[in-house]
Amino acid sequence: MTVVDDRPATEVGSPRRRKEDARLIVGRTRWTDNLTLPGMLHLAMVRSPYAHARITSVDADAARQAPNVVAVLTGEDVKDIQGGLPCAWPITPDQKAPTHPSIAVDRVAFAGEIVAVVIARSPGEARDAAELVDVEYDELPAALELKAAAADQTLAHPDLGTNTSAVWTFDSGAAGTGGDVEAAISAARDGGIVIEREYRQQRLIPAFMEPRSFVCDPTGEQLTIWSSTQVPHFVRIFTAAVLGIPESKIRVIAPDVGGGFGGKLQFTPEEVITVLAARHTGKPCKYTETRSESLVSAHHGRDQWQKLTLAATADGHVTGLKVELLADMGAYLGLVTPGVPILGAFMFNAIYTFPAYHFTCRNVFTNKTWTDAYRGAGRPEATYAIERLMDELAVEVGVDPLEIRERNWIRHEQFPFTSVCGLEYDSGNYEAATARAKELFGYDDLRAEQARRRASNDPVQLGIGVSTFTEMCGLAPSRVLGSLSYAAGGWEAASVRMLPTGKVEVVTGTSPHGQGHETAWSQIVADRLGVPFEDVEVLHGDTQVAHKGLDTYGSRSLVVGAEAVIRAADKVIEKARVVAAHLLEASVEDIDFANGSFTVRGTDSAQAMAEVVWAAFSAHNLPDGFEPNLDSEATFDPVSFSFPHGTHLCAMEVDTETGQTTMRKYVAVDDIGTIVNPLIVHGQVHGGIVQGVAQALWEEAVYDDAGTLVSGSLVDYTIPSSADTISLTVDQTTSPSTTNTLGTKGVGEAGAIASTPAVVNAIVDAVRHLGVNDIRMPCTPERVWTAIRGASGSGGPSTAAAASHLGAGAPNHDPDSGAATQGGAQ
Partner 1 sequence: MTRITVTVDGTRYTDDVEPRTLLVQYLRDRLGKVGTVVGCDTGNCGACTVHLDGRSVKSCQLLAVQTDGHEVTTIEGLANGATLHPMQEAFRDCHALQCGFCTPGMIMQAVDLVTENPHPTEAEVREGLEGNLCRCTGYHNIVKAVQQGAGAMSGGQS
Q: List residues near partner 1 by CB under 8 A.
A: 17-18, 20-29, 31, 33-34, 36, 124, 207-211, 256-259, 261, 290-292, 513-516, 679-680, 682-684, 686-691, 713-715, 719-723, 725, 727-728, 751
In the complex, least distance from residue 437 CB atom to partner 1, rounded to whole angstroms = 17
Which residues are CB-contacts of 522 (< 8 A; sequence separation ≥ 6)? 11, 16, 19, 506, 533, 536, 537, 538
In the complex, least distance from residue 369 CB atom to partner 1, rounded to whole angstroms = 18
In the complex, least distance from residue 51 CB atom to partner 1, rounded to whole angstroms = 22
Parallel, antiparallel or unpaired: strands 213-217 and 591-594: unpaired
555: left (phi over 0), alpha (psi -120 to 50) or beta: left
- Beta pairing partners, 665: 651
Q: Considering beta carbons, is residue 26 or 594 the nearer one to partner 1?
A: 26
In the complex, least distance from residue 657 CB atom to partner 1, rounded to whole angstroms = 23
Alpha carbon of 632 to those of 526, 570, 635: distances in Å?
A: 16, 9, 10
Cβ-in-10-Å burial (0-12, 13-18, 19+) of 307 comes to middle
Cβ neighbours, 10 Å, residue 801: 13
In the complex, least distance from residue 67 CB atom to partner 1, rounded to whole angstroms = 12
Give me the count of residues in the chain.
826
Q: Considering beta carbons, is residue 408 or 691 the nearer one to partner 1?
A: 691
In the complex, least distance from residue 263 CB atom to partner 1, rounded to whole angstroms = 10
In the complex, least distance from residue 690 CB atom to partner 1, rounded to whole angstroms = 3
Q: Considering beta carbons, is residue 43 or 351 the nearer one to partner 1?
A: 43
In the complex, least distance from residue 680 CB atom to partner 1, rounded to whole angstroms = 7
Query: Strand 107-108's sheet: what is its strand order?
Result: 107-108, 53-59, 134-139
Cβ-in-10-Å burial (0-12, 13-18, 19+) of 139 comes to middle
Report helix, strand or coil for 728.
coil
Q: Considering beta carbons, is residue 60 or 689 the nearer one to partner 1?
A: 689
Q: Give yes or no for a contact between 242 and 86, defined as CB atoms under 8 angstroms apart.
A: yes
In the complex, least distance from residue 209 CB atom to partner 1, rounded to whole angstroms = 4
Q: Considering beta carbons, is residue 34 or 418 the nearer one to partner 1?
A: 34
Cβ neighbours, 10 Å, residue 135: 21
Q: Give yes or no for a contact between 394 and 403, defined as CB atoms under 8 angstroms apart.
A: yes
In the complex, least distance from residue 345 CB atom to partner 1, rounded to whole angstroms = 28
Q: What is the DSSP string of 246-269?
A: -GGGEEEE--B----TTTTSS--H
Phi, psi of 635 (to 5 degrees): -125, 130
Q: Considering beta carbons, is residue 79 or 127 the nearer one to partner 1?
A: 127
Peptide bond before 129: cis, by omega within 30 degrees of 0?
Answer: no
**Measuring CA to CA, which residue among 744, 731, 371 is closest to residue 556?**
744
In the complex, least distance from residue 130 CB atom to partner 1, rounded to whole angstroms = 15
In the complex, least distance from residue 135 CB atom to partner 1, rounded to whole angstroms = 22
In the complex, least distance from residue 14 CB atom to partner 1, rounded to whole angstroms = 13
In the complex, least distance from residue 448 CB atom to partner 1, rounded to whole angstroms = 26
In the complex, least distance from residue 692 CB atom to partner 1, rounded to whole angstroms = 10
**Measuring CA to CA, which residue among 464, 380, 453, 436 is closest to residue 650?**
464
Q: Considering beta carbons, is residue 21 or 592 the nearer one to partner 1?
A: 21
CA distance linking residue 239 with residue 271, whole number of Å:
8
CA distance linking residue 17 with residue 731, whole number of Å:
19
Q: Considering beta carbons, is residue 457 or 727 the nearer one to partner 1?
A: 727
Q: Considering beta carbons, is residue 79 or 664 the nearer one to partner 1?
A: 664
DSSP conformational letter for 348? T
In the complex, least distance from residue 25 CB atom to partner 1, rounded to whole angstroms = 4
H or E element: which one contains 786?
helix 781-790
Torsion of CA 436, 440, 442, 443, to 10 degrees: -40
CA distance linking residue 770 with residue 141, whole number of Å:
42
CA distance linking residue 291 with residue 303, whole number of Å:
21
Alpha carbon of 782 to those of 269, 778, 787, 788: distances in Å?
A: 38, 10, 8, 10
In the complex, least distance from residue 515 CB atom to partner 1, rounded to whole angstroms = 7
Q: Considering beta carbons, is residue 196 or 372 the nearer one to partner 1?
A: 372
Phi, psi of 552 (to 5 degrees): -125, 115
Q: Give yes or no for a contact between 486 and 553, defined as CB atoms under 8 angstroms apart.
A: no
CA distance linking residue 500 with residue 504, whole number of Å:
9
Q: Considering beta carbons, is residue 457 or 722 the nearer one to partner 1?
A: 722
Q: Considering beta carbons, is residue 566 or 680 the nearer one to partner 1?
A: 680
Q: Give yes or no for a contact between 675 and 737, defined as CB atoms under 8 angstroms apart.
A: no
Alpha carbon of 14 to those of 373, 519, 520: distances in Å?
A: 32, 11, 10
Q: Considering beta carbons, is residue 150 or 693 the nearer one to partner 1?
A: 693
